[in-house]
Amino acid sequence: LNDAIGAKPRPTGLDQVAAVIVVLSGKGGVGKSTVSANLAAGLAMGGLRTGLLDVDVHGPSIPRLLKLTGFRPEMSPQGMLPVDWHWNLGVMSIGFLLPGKDDAVIWRGPAKAGVIAQLAEQVAWGARDVLVVDCPPGTGDEPLSVLQLFGPKAMALIVTSPQDVAVDDVRRSVTFCRQMDVPILGIVENLSGFACPDCGAVHHIFSTDGGARLAEEMDVPFLGRIPIDPEVARSGDDGDVYLAVAGQSPAATAFKAVIAAA
C-alpha cells in the first residue's frame, strides 16, 4: 500500500543500522547466546559501533551474561534506549522487559511475535555498523519472525555443536535461511572438543568436524571451532565477557578467528 500511494516507509530504529547478524541455532544449549555476546563484544572492542539485541523469548540470557540483570531500558522520543555497555556496546534484551529475573515468558505465539517486532523496530539504536541478534532457537515461528523483521539487512550465523543430532538441526536451519533468502555468513562449531586447562591440549570427546562437513556439503562458509573451556562457562555465570578476560587460550583464539571471519 505504501508503494501504491507513494508514501515513505515508516521510520524504525533500524534505519541507521548498516548490517544485522542474526545468530541462529537448530536447537537450544549449543552456545548461541555465548557466541552472540562474545561476537558483539569482540566487534565492539575492535572499534565497530555495535548493538546486541536479545530476542530469545524462551531464555533471554544476555542480561546474565553481561551482568545486566534487572536493568530497565529508558525511553526517549525515538524509542527505547539500549543500555550502553563497555566499548559502547548498546544492549537490549527481552529480559529487561520481564517483571523479574525468574519470570518465564508465557505469552502465546502472537504476543511473542508482537514483542519481538517491537524490539526489532522500536529500539533507538542510532547509527550502528552492526547489530548482533540473539534469536530464539529452532526453525519455528519465532526465528521466522526475526528473519522477516530484519529483512534485507539480515545475515545469518549458525551455531552448532559437533554431535550429529545438533548437526541435523543445523541442516534445517540452512534450508530455512535459504527459503527466506537470508544470506548465510557461516557455521560455527561450538563445544568442539575440550580445552584442558592443565595440559593446554584440545581433547575431542564427541565426533569432530560435523559442522565443517556440513558446511562443505551445504556450500556454506565454515567459520571455525570453539572448544569447551571451563573459563567460558565460568565467565558466563559471573557476567564477564569471556573474550575480555581470556588471554590466549584455545577458545579465545577460536572466538577471535570466528569474529575475524564474520
The C-alpha R_g of the chain, in whole angstroms, comes to 18
Binding site for ligand ADP (CB under 6 A): 25, 28-34, 61, 190-191, 226, 228-229, 232-233, 236, 251
Q: Measured from the CB atom, is 124 or 223 closer to ligand ADP?
A: 223
Residues pairing with 134 in the sheet: 23, 54
Q: Measured from the CB atom, is 124 or 232 closer to ligand ADP?
A: 232
Least Cβ distance, residue 111 to ligand ADP (angstroms): 22
Annotated binding site: 26-33
Least Cβ distance, residue 97 to ligand ADP (angstroms): 19
Q: 79-80 and 75-76: which strand pairing?
A: antiparallel
Burial class, 236, CB count within 10 angstroms (exposed 0-12 / middle 13-18 / buried 19+) = buried
Residue 132 · residue 39 · CB < 8 Å: yes
Least Cβ distance, residue 105 to ligand ADP (angstroms): 14
Q: Measured from the CB atom, is 47 or 197 closer to ligand ADP?
A: 197
Q: Measured from the CB atom, is 61 or 145 closer to ligand ADP?
A: 61
Least Cβ distance, residue 231 to ligand ADP (angstroms): 8
Distances (CA, A) of 204 to 218, 249, 251: 24, 16, 14
* Rounded Cα gap, residues 246 and 2, in angstroms: 50
- Residue the block writes with cell 558466563: 236
Residues in the chain: 262
Least Cβ distance, residue 262 to ligand ADP (angstroms): 16
Least Cβ distance, residue 218 to ligand ADP (angstroms): 20
Annotated binding site for ATP: 26-33
Contacts 24+ apart (CB under 8 A), 238-244: 238/67, 239/64, 239/65, 239/66, 239/67, 239/68, 239/69, 240/67, 241/37, 241/38, 241/41, 241/65, 241/66, 241/86, 242/34, 242/38, 243/38, 243/41, 243/42, 243/45, 244/41, 244/45, 244/86
Q: Measured from the CB atom, is 233 or 245 closer to ligand ADP?
A: 233
- Residue the block writes with cell 531464555: 59
Q: Measured from the CB atom, is 58 or 153 closer to ligand ADP?
A: 58
The H-or-E segment that residue 181 falls in is none
